[in-house]
C-alpha cells in the first residue's frame, strides 16, 4: 500500500518508503512529518541566502553613503564640487536609484550630493525593511520545521510503544 499525499502545506510529498502490511500508520505519519520538515527547512534556507545577498547590498550602500558624505564636505568646501566615482554611478544604475541630474563630467555640488545621499539612504532603509520581512519568513518556516520534527518524533515513539506492546502480547 502506497500513501501519496499531495499539496500539504504547498509541498508535494510521497510517502512510499514505508509501504506494505508491516508499515504502521504512525511510521507513515512520521515520514510525512519529516518530508514537511525538510520542505520548510529548504524554504528557510532560500530566504537565508536571499538575506545574505541583501546584507551585501546594504554594506555596499553604507560604504557609498560614507563616500558620498565625504564628497559633500569636499563640494561644500573650497572645491565647490566633487566627482561621482564610477563605482557609485554603476551602483545607482544597477539598483535604479535616482541621483542629481547627470553631468557629463559627473561633478556635483553640495546640494546635489545631499540629494544623492538621500537617495542612497532611502534605498538602504528599503533594504533593511526587506531583510526584516525575510527574517519573519525564516522564523515562521523554522517554527514549522520544529513542529514537524516534534510530530515525527512523537509518531515514532508511539509506533515503538505499539510494536513493543504487540511483542509482549505474543
* pLDDT for position 108: 93
Summarize the confidence of residues 63-69 as an average pLDDT.
97
pLDDT in tens, 99-156: 998 777 889 999 999 999 999 999 999 999 999 999 999 999 999 999 999 999 888 8
Cβ–Cβ under 8 Å, residues 133 and 57: no
Under the banding of pLDDT at 50, 70 and 90, the label for residue 56 is very high
pLDDT in tens, 68-99: 999 999 999 888 899 999 999 999 999 999 99
* Counts of helices then strands in the chain (DSSP H, E): 3, 4
Distance CA(85)–CA(114), nearest Å, equals 15
- Own/partner pairs, 75-78, CB within 8 angstroms, 24+ separation: 75/108, 75/109, 75/110, 75/112, 75/113, 76/110
* Residues 6 or more apart whose Cβ sits within 8 Å of residue 32: 3, 5, 8, 13, 15
pLDDT in tens, 1-37: 333 333 333 333 444 444 444 457 888 888 999 999 9
* pLDDT for position 71: 94
In order of 41, 92, 146, the CA distances from 137 in angstroms are 11, 29, 14
Between 2 and 163, residue with greater pLDDT:
163
* pLDDT for position 105: 83
* pLDDT for position 162: 75
Task: Using the structure block, give the residue that is written with the C-alpha cell 568646501.
Answer: 77
Amino acid at each position: 500500500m502506497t500513501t501519496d499525499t499531495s499539496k500539504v502545506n504547498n509541498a508535494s510529498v510521497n510517502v512510499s518508503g514505508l509501504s506494505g502490511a508491516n508499515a504502521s500508520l504512525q511510521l507513515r505519519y512520521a515520514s510525512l512529518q519529516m518530508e514537511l520538515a525538510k520542505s520548510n527547512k529548504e524554504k528557510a534556507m532560500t530566504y537565508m541566502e536571499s538575506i545574505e545577498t541583501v546584507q551585501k547590498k546594504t554594506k555596499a550602500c553604507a560604504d557609498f553613503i560614507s563616500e558620498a558624505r565625504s564628497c559633500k564636505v569636499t563640494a561644500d568646501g573650497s572645491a565647490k564640487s566633487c566627482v561621482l566615482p564610477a563605482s557609485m554611478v554603476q551602483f545607482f544604475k544597477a539598483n535604479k536609484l535616482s541621483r542629481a541630474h547627470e553631468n557629463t563630467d559627473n561633478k556635483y555640488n553640495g546640494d546635489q550630493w545631499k540629494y544623492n545621499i538621500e537617495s542612497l539612504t532611502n534605498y538602504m532603509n528599503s533594504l533593511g525593511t526587506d531583510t526584516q520581512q525575510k527574517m519573519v519568513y525564516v522564523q515562521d518556516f523554522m517554527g514549522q520545521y520544529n513542529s514537524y520534527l516534534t510530530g515525527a518524533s512523537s509518531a515514532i515513539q508511539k509506533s515503538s510503544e505499539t510494536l513493543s506492546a504487540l511483542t509482549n502480547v505474543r
